[in-house]
Amino acid sequence: MKKLFVLLMALSMLAQINAQEKKIFRISTDNTDLILQVAPNGRLYQSYLGDKLLNEQDINNFSYAVKGGSDGSVSTRGWEVYPGSGAEDYFEPAVAITHYDGNPSTIFRYVSAEQKEVKGGTETVINLKDDQYPVEVILHYIAYPKENVIKTWSEIKHSEKKPINLWRYASTMLYFSNTNYYLTEFSSDWAKEARMSTQPLMFGKKVIDTKLGSRAAMHAHPFFELGLDQPVQEQQGRVMLGTLGWTGNFQFTFEVDNVGNLRVIPAINPYASYYELKANEIFSTPEFIFTFSNNGTGEASRNLHAWARNYQLKDGQGDRLTLLNNWENTYFNFNEELLGELMKEAKHLGVDMFLLDDGWFGNKHPRNDDHAGLGDWEVMKSKLPGGIPALVKSAKEAGVRFGIWIEPEMVNPRSDLFEKHPDWAIHLPNRETYYYRNQLVLDLSNPKVQDFVFGVVDNILTENPEVAFFKWDCNSPITNVYSPYLKDKQGQLYINHVRGIYNVLNRIKDKYPNVPMMLCSGGGARCDYEALKYFTEFWCSDNTDPVERIFIQWGFSQIFPSKAMCAHVTSWNKNTSVKFRTDVASMCKLGFDLGLKELNADELAYCQNAVANWKRLKSVILDGDQYRLVSPYDGNHMAIMYTAPDASKAVLYTYDIHPRFGEKLFPVRLQGLDAKKMYKVKEINLMPNKNSNLAVNEKTYSGDYLMKVGINAFTTNQTHSRVIELTAE
Ligand code: DGJ
C-alpha cells in the first residue's frame, strides 16, 4: 500500500515537471480546472475548462488547437487566451491596439509565469509580450478552491515611443464547446431590477452592455448565467455564473463561431473609449469572477455567496445594522424635532439605527426637492439648526445609531458648487444641456473633484466621528458626455471617471475602515463586486412592493449573498399585509422605511417581534447557506431557506403570491439539512393572537423526512407568507 502511494506521488511529481517543461498552467479549484498551455509558436491557448481532473498526468494530454473543424480536422487556429486584433483569429479579440506607428496588430507570446499563495487561494500570473512591439500583458487568475470560484483580470502596459491606443481591453476570454448554450440575462430599469430571461445563443454575437457611465447598471446588470447544453435550472445541469467588477460601462460578448464553439468576453465597454495609454502606464481591466456547478444555479450561487462573504464584500464576515429610514415616510419634509421623534420610533421598533435620507443640506439653494442643492453639503440651517451634531446627540439619547444619505458624485446647476466650479461637471460646452433628475455628474476624472468628493465624507466624519453609516446614492447616468478636464482626451472619460470613484472610495476605506456604507443608485443600478469592496451592502430597488421584491430579490440572489442586499418594509402595495411585506424584507438585510404611526397596535407588535426574530436568527439568514426551493418564475409561490453551516438551525420562508382558485399545492421539500438530525419545526413571525395553522408546527421530524417529503406550507391565500424556524435537537 505504502509502495503504491510512493509510486503515485512520484508519478504526480513527474507529471508536474513534465507540465512545467511543456509550459502547462493549471488553475484549479476543488471542482474546476482551467488549463492553459504554451504552443510551439510561443502563444498561450486554453486547452481545457471543465470538471477538475483526478490525475495530474492527464493535464499533459491536451491539444492547444481549436477543436471541431467542420471537416473533422484540427485547425492551427487555437483557443488563444488573450488574442489580439489583426492576427489570424477572425472573431472578437480580447485586446485591440493601434501602435504608435499606426499598426493595428498585436500577437502575444509567452514570457514567464508564477504561482503564489494569496488569501483564500492560489494566484497564477502569466506574462506575455509581443515580439514586434514592446507591449506586455499580465494575466492574473486567483482560484479559490473551497468556494470553487476563479477571479481573473489583466494588465496591459508598453514602452513604445509614443502613446498607444487601446480599443478593446477584455478582462479575459473563455471558450466552450458544447451542444447548446443558453444565456440567462438580468435586464433592469428603475423599479424593475434583476429581471431574468433566458435565450439560446445561436451563431453570431449576443452583446449585453451599458453606456450609462455612472448609474451604469440601470438597464442591464453586470452578471449572467450560462446553461451548458441546456437552459439553467436551479438544482441540476451544468452552469456557469459570471460577473464583472466594474461600476461603469461594461460589455459581455457571447460569440458562437463557425464551428459552434462559444467565446465569452467580459470587458469594460469600449464604446466611446478609445483609450490612449502612455508608456509605462498600467491599464488594469476589471476583475471577472466566475464559478461552475454541475448541480444548477443554486449551488453556483452558494459558491459566489460564500466567496463574497469570505474575500470580496466589505466586512463580509461582520455584522449588519437594521435600520429605520425616513425617505418614503417624510421625503424632503422634516425638521429636527420630527427626526428626533423618528429616532425614538426606531428604538421602539427595535432596530439598530436611524438613517436620514435626502434633503438635509443646502442653504442658498435649499434641498427641499430634487431641483437644487446637490453639491452643497452643509446642513440646511432652517430645517436642522443644530446641524449633524444635534442629530447624532438625539440618536444617542434615543438609543440608536445615526446614519446619513449623500450623493457626492452629483451637482444640481442650482447650487453654490456649480456656480463656483461649472467646469467640475461633465457637460458639453456647445450644446443645450440635458438634465437627468435635474442634475449633472461631477467629473471624477479630475483629481480636484476627487478631493472634493472625498471631502464630503471626510468633513462629516471629522465633525461627527459617531456617524455610523452612509447611504451613498447616484441618481443620474452621465449625460452631455464631455469632460472639461480631459479636453482632447475624451476617450478616457468613461474609464477614468470610474477609476476616480475608486480612488475616492480607497481613500475613504483607508481613513475610515470600519464605517459601513450602502451602495444605492436610484434603486439597484449599481451592483457589482468591485464597488462591494467598499460597500457593505446595496439597495436592490426603490420598488418595495413585496410581490415585485420577491422577484427582484430572487434575481439578485443569483449573484449576491443576502448579507449584501438591503430590503426595507414600506408602504408600497398596501393591499398586502404588514406581515407579508415584513416577511419579504426579512429574507435579506432588514430595514424599515415607513412611519410607525401608520401601523395599528397589532401590526406594530408584529413588527417588533419580527425585528427581534430577525436579529436572533441573523447569523443563519446572513451567513448561512441559501437554498432557493421554489421559484416565483415557475408559478404562484416562492420558497427559500437558509441553513447554518453546521445544519443545526434553518429558517424557511414561504410565500403564496397570487394562487389560482383550488390550485394543487405541493409540499416544500427542504435542502441543506442533516438527514440524520431531528428538527423541531416552529412557525414564527405570527400576528399577535394568531396561532399557526401549519400542520407540522411544533412537531419534530428528521432532516431526511423534511428533505424528501417536505412541509405543506403553501396555501391558496393571496399574498400570504410564513416564516418557519427549524432547530436541530
Ligand atoms: C433614490 C434612492 O433609491 C432612494 O432610496 C432615495 O434615497 C432617493 N434617491 C433620494 O433622493
Q: Is 520's C-beta closer than 6 angstroms to any atom of ligand 1?
A: yes
**Closest to 163 (Cα-Cα) out of 192, 133, 126, 191:** 133
Whether 144 and 120 have beta carbons less than 8 Å apart is answered as: yes
Structure confidence at residue 62 as a pLDDT band (50, 70, 90):
confident
Active-site residue, from 542, 583, 623, 625: 542
Mean pLDDT of 245-250: 98
Rounded Cα distance, 446 and 225, in Å: 36
What is the per-residue DSSP string for 642-662?
Answer: EE-TTSSEEEEEEEE-SPPTT
What average pLDDT does the chain have?
Answer: 95
Q: Name the residue at shortest CA distance from atom 6 of ligand 1.
A: 327
What is the per-residue DSSP string for 55-79?
Answer: -GGGGGG---BPP--TTS---S-B-
Structure confidence at residue 22 as a pLDDT band (50, 70, 90):
confident
Q: What are 369-427's pLDDT values in tens digits?
A: 999 999 999 999 999 999 999 999 999 999 999 999 999 999 999 999 999 999 999 99
Q: Helices 387-398 & 447-463, crossing angle to 10 degrees? A: 50
Asked whether the predicted pLDDT for residue 19 surpasses 80, the reply is: no
Q: Name the residue at shortest CA distance from atom 5 of ligand 1.
A: 542
Class of residue 196 by CB neighbours under 10 A (exposed 0-12, middle 13-18, buried 19+): middle
CA 315 to centroid of ligand 1, rounded, Å: 24
Mean pLDDT of 686-700: 98
Class of the domain covering 2-66+76-312: mainly beta
Whether 671 and 628 have beta carbons less than 8 Å apart is answered as: no
Active-site residue, from 130, 257, 376, 473: 473
pLDDT confidence of residue 78: 78
Backbone φ and ψ for 705, nearest 5 degrees, come out as -65, -45
CA 436 to centroid of ligand 1, rounded, Å: 14
CA 670 to centroid of ligand 1, rounded, Å: 37
Which mutation among 473, 566, 593 tests ligand 1's pocket best, with the greatest number of atoms within 8 A of CB?
Answer: 473
Q: Name the residue at shortest CA distance from atom 2 of ligand 1.
A: 522
CA 638 to centroid of ligand 1, rounded, Å: 28
Mean pLDDT of 162-183: 98
For the four alpha carbons of 400, 401, 402 and 408, in that order, the dihedral sign comes to: negative
DSSP bridge pairs for 668: 711
Q: What are 124-146's pLDDT values in tens digits?
A: 999 999 999 999 999 999 999 99
Q: Is 33's C-beta closer than 6 angstroms to any atom of ligand 1?
A: no
Asked whether the predicted pLDDT for residue 75 surpasses 60, the reply is: no
Mean pLDDT of 438-443: 98
Structure confidence at residue 495 as a pLDDT band (50, 70, 90):
very high
Task: Write the secondary structure of 105-161 as one string of H (helix), E (strand) and C (coil).
Answer: CCCEEEEEEEEEEECCEEEEEEEEEECCCCEEEEEEEEEECCCCEEEEEEEEEECCC
Which mutation among 189, 355, 356, 358 tests ligand 1's pocket best, with the greatest number of atoms within 8 A of CB?
Answer: 358
Name the CATH superfamily housing domain 627-728: Golgi alpha-mannosidase II (2.60.40.1180)
CA 471 to centroid of ligand 1, rounded, Å: 9
> Counting atoms of ligand 1 from 1, which one is nearest the CA of 520?
3
CATH number for the segment(s) 323-621: 3.20.20.70
Q: Name the residue at shortest CA distance from atom 10 of ligand 1.
A: 358
Domain coordinates in residue numbering, the chain: 2-66+76-312, 323-621, 627-728
Q: Name the residue at shortest CA distance from atom 9 of ligand 1.
A: 522
Asked whether the predicted pLDDT for residue 71 surpasses 50, the reply is: no
Q: What are 619-663's pLDDT values in tens digits?
A: 999 999 999 999 999 999 999 999 999 999 999 999 999 999 999
The answer to whether residue 473 is catalytic is yes
- The binding site for substrate comprises 190, 357-358, 437, 471-475, 520, 542
Structure confidence at residue 17 as a pLDDT band (50, 70, 90):
low
The answer to whether residue 130 is catalytic is no
